[in-house]
């Protein structure tokens, strides 16, 4: 419930302006609900129009991306970059390529990115971008031509001191490589304009693992501080099988937990003996295949594949949604609580609906929001920018240790009294 007059007024203004952007409204509402005590304590924020400013992007860029497919036919997609806030540093945030990308999706992601980035304590503003391009089923050459066309327009808006994009859903090392090559060609400049680059051309060790590892570092710290507990012996349910899910599963297993599920948009794997992360990596990262292959590749006899279903019916101690927004609904929250879940850590951005979040919190589940819990990725991107600026490469251990400090110190879970 929004009770504060100032917050209500600004929220109504957002609804009037952006009423057709449901994901953005959801993200703003979630933040505003938690900000009420802050605004009441600081009347100067209203005078300075802080909330009005934080919900309005500094710049919204929307552009045509025309490219040629393998049949020689011209395809047209829509590209976005929302440069939301540069108060504390250059705009920073990922690019997402997925058919569900709209202005509302990019805007909610950019809005959350402002807060997440500031939590890392590194000097990074907030932004996000992407396209409704669907890379599934496209050849490498088609993905390359799309990325080059996308960057041809984007290049005029970004730069190492202006705006530094990175990966997100369906944008990984391959895409960042194509995008970087095109930027370099157009601008004749070799700079840290993108993060998540290949190690051979300025990428940072540990960036690939960073978001998933960070999700577990955060959860581990929460277990220690709040419950004097650890991952040891816990059953963990994870959704997704991409970059975040894979490395969250790997770290949770290293810390002594048993991860029993992973999923993709077609269905999920239940493996009561513990997911074999190397098999998932081979199928999803190397072959860009489907998880339905898992049972054939893994020698565990008890593996189940559930087509067209979600993971949240699975009993667990800890749930980690790592796929996409609004993937944990109220029915899922009820199933999780009924089946003994005690912790939910958001690896994805806004994976839990508002109603589901409230239900979890009212039923004794410790809820760790993505803006803090998945900040390890962008924190390590910040460290990649530092390495690029000083033209040096740090070791895996140096980056891993530093990112741990940046995500666990300022965002350390605290008991709110």
Catalytic residues: 128
Closest distance of CB 39 from ligand 2IT, Å: 26
Pick the closer one to ligand 2IT by CB: 116 or 251: 116
C-alpha to C-alpha distance for 139 and 135, rounded to whole angstroms: 8
Helix (H, G, I), strand (E, B) or coil at 23: helix
The DSSP line for 307-355 is: ET--GGGS--SEEEE-S-TT-B-HHHHHHHHHTT--EEE--SSS-B-HH
166 binds ligand 2IT per the rule CB under 6 A: yes
Residue 368 β-bridge partners: 345
Residue among 100, 139, 302, 395 that touches ligand NDP (CB under 6 A): 100
Helix (H, G, I), strand (E, B) or coil at 114: helix
CB 90 within 8 A of CB 124: yes
C-alpha to C-alpha distance for 348 and 370, rounded to whole angstroms: 6
Report what 244 binds from ligand NDP, ligand 2IT, none; CB cut-off 5-8 Å by kind. Answer: ligand NDP
94 binds ligand 2IT per the rule CB under 6 A: yes
User: Tokens standing for 159?
Assistant: 């730069």
168 binds ligand NDP per the rule CB under 6 A: yes
Return the residues of window 320-349 that contact ligand NDP according to CB under 6 A: 322-324, 347-349
Residue among 170, 325, 349, 387 that touches ligand 2IT (CB under 6 A): 349
240 binds ligand NDP per the rule CB under 6 A: yes
407 binds ligand 2IT per the rule CB under 6 A: no
Going residue by residue from 173 to 212, which x/- string records binding to ligand 2IT, judged by CB under 6 A? ----------------------x-----------------
Residue with structure tokens 């605290």? 414
Residue among 163, 253, 264, 332 that touches ligand NDP (CB under 6 A): 264
Number of residues that bind ligand 2IT (CB under 6 A): 11
DSSP E strands in 35-88: the ranges are: 59-68, 74-85
Q: Is the dihedral of CA 353, 129, 98, 260 positive or negative?
A: negative
93 binds ligand 2IT per the rule CB under 6 A: yes
CA distances from 298 to 143, 278, 396 (A): 30, 10, 29
Q: Which residues bind ligand NDP (CB under 6 A)?
A: 98, 100, 167-170, 211, 240-245, 264-266, 322-324, 347-349, 374, 377
């Amino acid at each position: 419930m929004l009770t504060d007059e100032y917050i209500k007024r600004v929220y109504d203004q957002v609804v009037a302006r952006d009423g057709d952007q449901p994901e953005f409204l959801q993200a703003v509402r979630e933040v505003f609900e938690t900000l009420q005590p802050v605004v009441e304590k600081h009347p100067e924020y209203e005078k300075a129009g802080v909330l009005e400013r934080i919900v309005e992007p500094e710049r919204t860029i929307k552009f045509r991306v025309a490219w040629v497919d393998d049949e020689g036919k011209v395809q047209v997609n829509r590209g976005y970059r929302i440069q939301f806030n540069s108060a504390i540093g250059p705009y920073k945030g990922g690019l997402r390529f997925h058919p569900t990308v709209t202005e509302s999706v990019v805007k909610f992601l950019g809005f959350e990115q402002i807060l997440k980035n500031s939590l890392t304590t590194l000097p990074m503003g907030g932004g996000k971008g992407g396209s409704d391009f669907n890379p599934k089923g496209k050849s490498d050459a088609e993905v390359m031509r799309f990325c080059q066309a996308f960057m041809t327009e984007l290049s005029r808006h970004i730069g190492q001191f202006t705006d530094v994009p990175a990966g997100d859903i369906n944008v990984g090392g391959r895409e960042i490589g194509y995008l970087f090559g095109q930027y370099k060609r157009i601008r004749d400049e070799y700079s840290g304009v993108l993060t998540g680059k290949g190690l051979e051309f300025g990428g940072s060790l540990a960036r690939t693992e960073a978001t998933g590892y960070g999700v577990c570092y955060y959860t581990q710290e929460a277990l220690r501080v709040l419950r004097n507990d650890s991952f040891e012996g816990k059953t963990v349910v994870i959704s997704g099988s991409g970059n975040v899910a894979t490395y969250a599963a790997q770290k949770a297993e290293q810390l002594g937990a048993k991860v029993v599920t992973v999923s993709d948009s077609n269905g999920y794997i239940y493996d009561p003996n513990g997911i074999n992360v190397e098999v998932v990596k081979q199928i999803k990262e190397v072959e860009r295949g489907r998880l339905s292959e898992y049972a054939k590749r893994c020698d565990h006899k008890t593996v189940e594949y559930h087509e067209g279903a979600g993971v949240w019916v699975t009993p667990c101690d800890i749930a980690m949604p790592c796929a996409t927004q609004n993937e944990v609904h109220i029915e899922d929250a009820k199933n999780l609580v009924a089946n003994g879940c005690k912790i939910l850590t958001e690896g994805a951005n806004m994976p839990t609906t508002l109603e589901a979040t409230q239900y979890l919190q009212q039923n004794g589940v410790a809820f760790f929001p993505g803006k803090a819990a998945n900040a390890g990725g962008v924190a390590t991107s910040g460290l990649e920018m530092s390495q690029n600026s000083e033209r040096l490469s740090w070791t895996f251990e140096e980056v891993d240790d530093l990112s741990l400090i940046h995500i666990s110190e300022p965002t350390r879970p605290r008991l709110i009294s």
